[in-house]
Amino acid sequence: MRASFVFSEVVTGLRRNVTMTVAMILTTAISLGLLGGGLLVVRTIDRMQQDYYQRVETVVYLSADISANDPGCTSSTCSALRGQLESAPGVQTVIFESRQAAFARFQRIFQGQPELLQLARPEALPASLRVQLSDPARFPSIAKAFTGRPGVDRVTDQGEYLRQLFRALDGLRNATFVIALIQALAALLLISNTIQISAFTRRAEVGVMRLTGASRWYTQLPFLLEAVVAGVVGGVLAIVGLVIGKVAFVDRVLAGVFEAAIVPRIGYADIFSVAPILLLVGSVVAALTGYLTLRLYVRT
Amino acid sequence: MIRLEHVSKSYRTSTRPALDDVTVAVGKGEFAFLIGPSGSGKSTLLRLLLREEVASTGDVYVADLNVGRLSQRRIPQLRQRVGCVFQDFRLLANKTVSENVAFALEVIGKPRHTIRKVVPEVLELVGLEGKADRMPHELSGGEQQRVAIARAFVNRPLVLLADEPTGNLDRDISHEIMLLLERINRTGTTVLMATHDHAIVDSMRRRVVELQLGQVVRDESRGVYGVSR
Ligand SMILES: Nc1ncnc2c1ncn2[C@@H]1O[C@H](COP(=O)(O)OP(=O)(O)OP(=O)(O)O)[C@@H](O)[C@H]1O
Ligand SMILES: [Mg+2]
């Protein structure tokens, strides 16, 4: 197999149908870019989930009686609750927050709003046991076990809001993948079509190849490589697009969000860990499309 | 070298078989004409030898290959041993004369130094040594057919098939092409040529196999085209 010969055939083939080649490469790039975007969203969501669930607390609010009379959680009711929580499965730490401590925190949070602070009195705030779960999915069983116990007012979980947030993000990710899929379909049809056109414009060459006894590989490899070139170049463009998207869009628009550490930053390392996947998917899918097209439409 | 045994070929779309129980053999180094009216099955016979078509019944042999039984993967082996030229030359319009000839070797993976050596040799054999860098459209019809013959012959095939190679050429040029095919035949290559051309067949006095309606009606060792038509 003479590499230089096959290579020059590929270049001629791509050059001869410039418009189709460009369309094929751009569509492939957009499709792979969206796939890459989707994968980055998935990574971000995963990381956010870890972060957030580490930070969220399950809170067991204590009754008015304990709140008023037991500032150190020394009563038998309170200390029994604390002990049971500590030994419940999936619980990492339990911290008691007295009414005074809750009030101090309230004051800290609403520092800027003196009217609110004037109105508030410590009596309005309950004491609580703040529970860190090692696995946020344990919340329902904790809630069930402790709701309605003597000394317990109610059990809340900040996780519920997060779950809604993550459902929205999952939706975003799925939408990205669906668009990527539709684009991929367009890219596949374009690749297939380009190969058919390419085979048609080169029917004279292919005819001579067949009659001179060129092997199937020799006849078809140039077409296959054309498809693979589209896949690889499309993949490279997609990666460049993701980097540009990060610098020009994500970093600017979401600067505040990153600053506040609400969403973990998307780094170059993230993009480059997605890059090989895009190149691989691009070239393999393009090669398969090329192979099937040759099988179905091009006589050898 | 070439052997057909009780070969019939029916195309799916036509009612009459294109070849009907044909048995014929052409020996090594022989030169034979395949003649007959239009539609008598000459091109079909050549296509069977190239495995462009497969016989409906009967066996086709080229050298030691049972052509009809070859697997897809081994068809190239057959075609590397059988050169062919056509009425319409089939040159690649965007390649020069020597590139056209070299192409036939490149696509079967011959090393570059071999190609550089044999292409000028074969161009000299067909009388085109000064025109290696011309494009096909810069050549006369006769010269284009010489390029096609050079391309068919450059890999030294055992058999050269020619389907009306002089069909597009005038008398004198046709005669030159015949001299060239004779020269190739003298190198030991078996030549089988389908033609309508009375004058050529009559002047060459070679073996003649005549087909009519897909059947062999005449096989003479030093024949003429015949007077019946
Ligand atoms: N691909 C095909 N499909 C259907 N019928 C075909 C096909 N090729 C040839 N035929 C038929 O087979 C018969 C023989 O055709 P063939 O081309 O072998 O004749 P030929 O002797 O080469 O004629 P010509 O001198 O005009 O080239 C004809 O009746 C033709 O119509
Ligand atoms: Mg014919």
Instruction: Give the domain-ending residue among A96, A128, A150.
Output: A150
Verify that A231 and A284 share a domain, yes or no.
yes
Q: In this prediction, what percent of chain A has a pLDDT beyond 90?
A: 11
| A278 closest CA partner among A180, A170, A186, A174 | A180
pTM of the model: 0.73
Higher local confidence (pLDDT), B153 or A183: B153
Contacts of B71 in chain A (CB under 8 A): none
Q: How far apart are CA A105 and CA A99, in angstroms?
A: 10
In this structure, the dihedral spanned by the alpha carbons of residues B105, B106, B112 and B113, taken in order and rounded to 10 degrees, is: 0
* pLDDT score, position B74: 93
Q: Which of A181-185, B120-124, B215-219 has the lowest mean pLDDT?
A: A181-185
Would you state the torsion angle of the CA atoms of residues A262, A263, A268, A271, taken in this order, to the nearest 10 degrees?
A: 170
A145, A272: one domain: no
- Structure token pair of residue B39: 């539609």
Which distant-in-sequence residues (6+ apart) come within 8 Å of A117 by Cβ?
A107, A110, A111
A30/A169 same-domain check: yes
Q: Kindly report, residue by residue over B26-59, the tens digit of the pLDDT.
A: 999 999 999 999 999 999 999 999 999 999 999 9
Helix axes B171-186, B141-153, angle to 10 degrees: 20
Q: How far apart are the C-alpha atoms of B226 and B201, rounded to whole Å?
A: 9
Q: What is the pLDDT of residue B186?
A: 95
Under 8 Å CB pairs connecting chains A and B tally to 55
Q: What is the mean pLDDT of residues A175-203?
A: 83
* Complex prediction ipTM: 0.88
DSSP string computed for A11-75 = HHHHHHTHHHHHHHHHHHHHHHHHHHHHHHHHHHHHHHHHHHHHH--EEEEEPHHHHHH-TTS-S
CB < 8 Å to A209, chain B: 107
Q: Which of residues 141-160 of B touch A (CB under 8 A)?
A: 151, 155
> What total of structural domains would you count in chain A?
2
Count of Cβ atoms closer than 10 Å to residue A172 Cβ: 14
Domain with A290 in it: 3-53+163-296
Q: Please report, as a single letter, which amino acid is at residue A37.
A: G
* Separation of CA B38 and ligand 2 centre (Å): 7
Q: Of A110-114, A186-190, B219-223, which range is least confident?
A: A110-114
Alpha helical stretches, state H, A122-202: 139-146, 159-201
Residue A8 is assigned to a structural domain of this protein = yes
Instruction: Give the tokens for residue B4.
Output: 């057909």
Contact assessment for residue B209 and residue B32, using Cβ atoms and an 8 Å cutoff? yes
Q: Specify the range with the lowest mean pLDDT, choosing from A98-102, A114-118, B117-121.
A: A114-118
Grouping H, G, I as helix, E, B as strand and the rest as coil, residue A157 is strand
If 0-12 CB within 10 Å is exposed, 13-18 middle and 19+ buried, where does residue A267 land? exposed
> Do strands B159-163 and B82-86 pair parallel, antiparallel, or not at all (unpaired)?
parallel
Q: Which of B7, B11, B216 to mutate to test the pocket of ligand 1 (most atoms within 8 A of CB)?
A: B11
Together in a domain, A168 and A257: yes
Of A95, A126, A150, the residue at which a domain comes to its end is A150
Q: Within this chain, do residues A167 and A49 fall inside the same structural domain, yes or no?
A: yes
If asked whether residues A133 and A167 sit together in one domain, one would say no
Ligand 1 pocket, B44 CB below 6 A? Answer: yes
Over residues B8-29, mean pLDDT:
94
Residue nearest to atom 18 of ligand 1 (CA): B41
Residue A293 has pLDDT above 80, yes or no: yes
Answer yes or no: do A117 and A84 share one domain. Answer: yes
Structural domain includes residue A158: no
Q: Which ligand is nearest to the CA of B45?
A: 1
- End residue of a domain, out of A150, A180, A201: A150
**Do A171 and A218 belong together in one domain?**
yes
- pLDDT tens digits, residue range A123-132? 888 899 988 8
User: A102: domain CATH number?
Assistant: 3.30.70.3040
> Near ion ligand 2, which residues have CB within 5 Å?
B 43
Does A58 map to a domain?
no
Q: What is the DSSP letter of A202?
A: T
- Is A155 within a domain? no
* Confidence class for position A299, pLDDT limits 50, 70, 90: low
Given a cut of 60, whether residue A282 has pLDDT beyond it is yes
- State how far the Cα of A283 lies from the Cα of A227, in Å rounded to an integer: 8
Same domain, A146 and A168: no
Q: How confident is the model at residue B229 (pLDDT cuts 50, 70, 90)?
A: very low
Same domain, A86 and A219: no
Please tell me the distance from the alpha carbon of residue B24 to that of residue B184, in angstroms, as a whole number. 22
Do residue A130 and residue A234 come from a single domain? no
Residue A139 lies in a domain: yes
Torsions phi, psi of A144, nearest 5?
-65, -40
Q: Share the mean pLDDT of chain A.
A: 84
Residues A271 and A200 grouped into a single domain: yes
pLDDT of residue B227: 56
The answer for residues whose C-beta is within 8 angstroms of residue B7's C-beta and 6 or more apart is: B19, B21, B22, B23, B48, B55, B57, B58, B59, B60
- Residue from B7, B42, B87 whose mutation best tests the ligand 1 pocket (most atoms within 8 A of CB): B42
